[in-house]
Amino acid sequence: MKKKLLFSLLAVFILFLGACGESDETEEVEDQVWADIQEAGEIVVGTAGTLFPASYYPEDSDELTGYNVEVFREIASRLDLDIKFEEMAYDAMLSALKSGRVDIIQAGPREESREIFAFSDPVKHSYVTMIVRSDDLSGIETLEDLEGKVAGGAATTVYSDIARKYGAEVKTYGNVTNDAYLRDVANGNTDLVINDYYLQSLALTAFPELDIQLHPDIKVHPTTNNVVMKKEATVLLEKVNEVIAEMKEDGTLSEISAEFFGGLDVSKEPDEEIIEIDGIE
C-alpha cells in the first residue's frame, strides 16, 4: 500500500514538473521576438543617428551616442545582450519594426499604433513647443496663427499632426540633421518647427548664430517617449519594463538625462502647466 502511494505521489510530482516546463516553454513560444533575440544574443535597435541630443554623432567622432542611444545600451546590458543600431529616418522606423528589421525603437504611443505595437513604461517625459524667428515670432501668437504657415518636420509625427490641425503646410525632410530644420526657419523657407521642448532647447544652443528662438507662450500637448516593440513581444515587454523600473529606482535614467539635457531630468514629468489639444493623441 505504501509503495503504491509513493508511486502515485511521484507520478503527480513528475506531472507537476512537466506542467511547469510546458508553461515556461509556452511563454517563450508566445514571444518569438524574445526567443529570436536570445538565440542571436543581440538586440537590433532602430534610431536616427542625426538628432542631437537623442541620437547623434559628436563632432569629430564616429561613436553613436545620445539619450536614446545610451538608454538602449543600458537596457541591452542589463538584459545581457549585445546591441546593434540601424540608422534610419523616423518615418521608416515603424515599418522597420513591423517587418522585423529591428527589434525595438523609441517613440511616443498613439491610439492607432497601440493596436499594432507594444509600448514600455515611459523613459522620457516632455511637451510640445515650437521654434520661430526671433524678430517677429514668425507672425505666430497663438496656435490659430499657424493657418497658412509652413512647418518643417517628419510626415508621421504628432508634431506634424498639430501643424496640420491648425492649417499649416508641413514640409517634410529625410534623415537630416537638426541644422537643416533650423536654418530653414531662419532663412524663411519655413516658418516654424514644432517638436519636443527639451530637444529644441538644446538644438538652439548648438546654433547661436541663427536668429531663431523658442516661442515664449506656446507649451502644449504633454508627451512621453517609450521603448516600442511588436505587439506579440510580451516577454520582451515585461523584461524591458523591469529594467526601466530598475533604472528609475537606482537613478541611472536621471544620470543619463543629466548628461544629455544640461542637467535636467527628462525621466520625470515636467512641472510646467501644459495645455492639452483636443483631437491630438
pLDDT in tens, 200-236: 998 898 899 999 999 999 999 999 999 999 999 999 9
CA 77 to mean position of chain CA atoms: 18
CATH number of the domain that residue 148 is part of: 3.40.190.10
Same domain, 98 and 61: yes
Same domain, 84 and 37: yes
> Whole-model pTM?
0.76
Same domain, 111 and 248: yes
Same domain, 116 and 182: no
Low-confidence ranges of the chain (pLDDT < 70): 1-29
Amino acid 3 reads K
- Structural domain range at position 74: 32-125+225-260
Same domain, 229 and 106: yes
Same domain, 166 and 235: no
Asked if residue 272 belongs to a domain, the reply is no
